[in-house]
Amino acid sequence: MKIFISAGEPSGDLHAANLIHAIRERAPDAEFVGFGGPKMTEAGATLLYPLVNLAIMWFLSVFLNIATFLRLLAQADRYFRDEKPDAVVLVDYPGFNWWIARKAHARGVPVFYFVPPQLWAWAGWRVEKVRRFVDMVLCSLPFEPAWYRERGYPNAVHVGHPYFDELCERDLDEKFTTSQEALGRPLLAILPGSRTLELKRNLPILARAAAKLTRSRPDVRFAVACLHEKHRTLSESILADALADAAVDGLPSPDLEVFAGRTPELIRVADVAWSVSGSVSLELMMEALPTVILYKVRPIDLVIARPFIKAKYITLVNLLADSELMPEYLTSKDVSDDLVGHAEKWLGDPEAMARTTADLAALRYTAARPGATSRAAEAILARLRGPAPDDAAYRGPHSRAVSLESVEDPGAA
């Protein structure tokens, strides 16, 4: 069995690697090839291109890299033609992955979407592409299958979010967390995002907010959690410029340190957090950490995006709760005062802190169900191996069928 996987972001690379392990547990002879990152390579996949290096956002960035995307698309198409894989698995990364789906479908290769893009939030019209090119959608959120069914696509099953699997299996560096706790002062974790552009756009506001909070709470220290050393170097440069500007305005210098590869540990020991929007919000929920969510964009990008945004919230935690448990700001403005206000409230009012923590813990109890990766692996293999003759099944764009009744739905309880 040969499976092609396409993942274009660090989080998708991790989800894909875990899916590889889960499929291999059930099908030891399975081979994996595709686009992704180092986690997929560590899991034993043959990487045709490190697509995570192109974890980019917005229209201009895509345009500037169009030649690379076209070359990769042609490479994938040749692979589908010559190697005839048994399946293609797409992991998030909408845009490019739609074209991969189109090419695979044209070559008669079944297509699965694991951790699908949130079409219900901003691009509902793209469900037509799902109907045409995707054999099965392995949904992360419990309300997604019904949304697809209402739009004429029955081949969606809720497997859960794989991020919860990773969090349950993660080992923390206890020596590091102990050393941080021993400092004995309130800690505010700053999570500036996993993409370079996110750092460049959001970190200046987060740095200014840190300087402003230091003015009213000089006892608070700050820890910036970066994905890797390259981002750490970039963050230190951005912070130096931003804090120099803040000093010109008379703001004090915050007690701030930048870390690489310490995000889980810093979330564990922090008292509050400021975070760029992303799947990390699920980790923040797991730790019941009071958090403000920021997503800074250019004014023109916000103008273009606003008409397409259909969801009530941009944060996964708030979507799961159907309530703004994490105050969120999708903005083109400097909202550093708002960030400071929330932090001051939580740090200065134990009852407010306790209420927010309790709300997040309650949501964790109902929403954070592990096992998504295993359920996804079982669904993919069931589809590829085919149902028993008397199974109740549905059919996707290709000829084989799979019984959804054979795949446990964690949202059915």
- Model confidence over 153-212: pLDDT tens digits? 999 999 999 988 888 778 899 999 999 999 999 999 999 998 889 999 999 999 999 999
Place of tokens 């009852």: 351
Quick one: pLDDT at residue 231? 95
DSSP 199-240: HHHHHHHHHHHHHHHHHH-TT-EEEEEESSHHHHHHHHHHHH
Mean pLDDT confidence for 383-389? 73
**For residue 168, is it within any domain?**
no
If phi over 0 gives left and psi between -120 and 50 gives alpha, with beta otherwise, what is residue 371? left
- Check whether residue 342 and residue 376 sit in a common domain: no
Mean pLDDT of the chain: 89
- Check whether residue 126 and residue 200 sit in a common domain: no
pLDDT surpassing 90 at residue 133: yes
**For residue 411, is it within any domain?**
no
Count of Cβ atoms closer than 10 Å to residue 332 Cβ: 14
- Check whether residue 142 and residue 23 sit in a common domain: yes
- Check whether residue 393 and residue 244 sit in a common domain: no
- Check whether residue 154 and residue 180 sit in a common domain: no
- Check whether residue 268 and residue 385 sit in a common domain: no
- Check whether residue 229 and residue 268 sit in a common domain: yes
Q: How far is CA 50 from CA 10, 42, 161, 387, 389, in A?
A: 10, 13, 24, 35, 41
**Residue 1's pLDDT band (boundaries 50, 70, 90)?**
very high
Quick one: pLDDT at residue 63? 56
Mean pLDDT confidence for 321-325? 93
Distance CA 327, CA 316 (A): 12
Q: Going by C-beta distance under 8 Å and a sequence separation of 6 or more, which residues neighbour residue 400?
A: 110, 383, 384, 386
Quick one: pLDDT at residue 403? 34
**For residue 84, is it within any domain?**
yes
Distance CA 43, CA 40 (A): 5
**For residue 192, is it within any domain?**
yes
pLDDT surpassing 80 at residue 59: no
- Check whether residue 208 and residue 313 sit in a common domain: yes
Distance CA 187, CA 270 (A): 5
Distance CA 66, CA 126 (A): 21
pLDDT surpassing 50 at residue 388: no
pLDDT surpassing 90 at residue 307: no
Tokens of residue 92, six digits:
């998030």
* Number of structural domains found in the chain: 2
pLDDT surpassing 70 at residue 401: no
- Check whether residue 143 and residue 179 sit in a common domain: no
Q: Give this prediction's pTM.
A: 0.74
Quick one: pLDDT at residue 64? 59
**Among candidate residues 121, 117, 120, the one with its CA nearest the CA of residue 94:** 117
Cα angle: 13, vertex 15, 18; to 5 degrees: 110
Quick one: pLDDT at residue 399? 35
Q: What confidence tens digit (pLDDT) does each residue in 85-97 have?
A: 999 999 988 889 9
Name the residue range of residue 376's domain: 2-160+371-406
**For residue 133, is it within any domain?**
yes
Count CA within 13 A, CB hemisphere, residue 362.
10
- Check whether residue 192 and residue 225 sit in a common domain: yes
Count of Cβ atoms closer than 10 Å to residue 99 Cβ: 18
- Check whether residue 279 and residue 314 sit in a common domain: yes
Q: What confidence tens digit (pLDDT) does each residue in 344-364 have?
A: 999 999 999 999 999 999 999
Place of tokens 């552009």: 197
**Residue 142's pLDDT band (boundaries 50, 70, 90)?**
confident
